[in-house]
Amino acid sequence: MNRIKDVLEQKGIKQKWLAVQLGKSYNMVNSYAQNRRQPSIENLYKIAEILDVEVATLLIERKVN
Q: Hey, is 60 helix, strand or coil?
A: coil
Cβ atoms within 10 Å of 34's Cβ, excluding its own:
12
User: Which residue type, as a one-letter code, is found at position 37?
Assistant: R
In degrees and rounded to multiples of 5, residue 2 shows phi and psi of -135, 170
pTM comes to: 0.90
pLDDT at 42 over 90: yes
**Amino acid found at 8:** L
65 in a structural domain: no
The count of structural domains within the chain is 1
25: domain CATH number? 1.10.260.40
Answer yes or no: is 64 within a domain.
Answer: no
Q: What is the pLDDT of residues 14-41, one digit of tens each?
A: 999 999 999 999 999 999 999 999 999 9
> Angle, to 10 degrees, between the axis of helix 15-22 and the axis of helix 41-51?
120
Q: Is residue 12 included in any domain, yes or no? A: yes
**What is the residue range of 32's domain?**
4-58
